[in-house]
Amino acid sequence: MYRSTIIVDKDIDDIERLFIPEDKTLNRSTYTLKKDKKHLVFEISADDATALKTAFNTITKVLLVWEKTKGITGKE
């Protein structure tokens, strides 16, 4: 089993809303979201390295689209 954590510390409410409709169970991996006052934490669990990479890429692609959209709309 592989595990990894991504911690986001800005705009956590907006980012959390982005991931509400996302499927958090992939073929061989899952991730959960936890939020406290200052951080949004993605905890990833995967059966193998390829599944870990897939989950990581799924999360980071959504974050990348959010950053680009934020730049276009001027909400920085």
Give 6 or 24, the one with higher predicted confidence.
Answer: 6
- Read off the pLDDT band of 76 (50, 70, 90): low
Strand 2-8: give its sheet, edge to edge: 2-8, 40-46, 29-35
**What does the pLDDT look like over 25-61, one tens digit per residue?**
888 999 999 999 999 999 999 999 999 999 999 999 9
Note whether 20 and 40 are within 8 A (CB). no
Query: What is the CATH classification number for the domain harbouring 41?
Result: 3.30.310.50
Over residues 3-26, the mean pLDDT reads: 89
Give how many domains the chain has, as a whole number: 1
Distance of alpha carbon 75 from alpha carbon 45, whole angstroms: 33
Query: What range does the domain containing 68 cover?
Result: 2-73
- Angle of helix 12-19 relative to helix 49-73, nearest 10 degrees, comes to 120
